[in-house]
Amino acid sequence: MKIVVNLTVLSILFLSGCRGAPSINVLGSFFPGWMLCMGLGLLGALVFRQVFIKTNVESHLVPRPLVYLCLWVLVTLSSWLLFFRS
């Protein structure tokens, strides 16, 4: 009986923050907000790459795929926090 009560309390605590994902209306079709943030992350990583090439920093980036992947994640999560933080 005590296990059931503990599981119920835990599920209430963990599920209390669940709500629907934010949606964006694009020409009458709704897209999830994370798609927009991933696209912005990709564009941001490409902009950073161009800046790194112009300033000759890219030659010093040793694991380039890892650096650009981390930049993509950074811009994606930052845009999520900027636009959809509630």
- pLDDT tens readout for residues 27-76: 777 778 888 899 999 999 999 999 999 999 988 988 999 999 999 999 99
Whether 34 is covered by a domain: the verdict is: yes
Q: Look at the pTM and tell me if it is higher than 0.75.
A: no
Whether 26 is covered by a domain: the verdict is: yes
Which range of residues forms the domain containing residue 34? 22-84
Local confidence band at 86 (pLDDT 50, 70, 90 cut-offs): low
Whether 73 is covered by a domain: the verdict is: yes
84 has pLDDT over 70: yes
Considering only CA atoms, which of 52, 51, 29, 44 is closest in space to residue 80?
Answer: 44
Residue keyed to tokens 């930049």: 71
| Residues recorded for the chain | 86
Whether 1 is covered by a domain: the verdict is: no
DSSP per-residue codes, 11-76: HHHHHTT--PPPEEEETTEEEEHHHHHHHHHHHHHHHHHHHHHHTT-GGG-SSHHHHHHHHHHHHH
pLDDT in tens, 6-34: 888 877 777 666 666 677 777 777 778 88
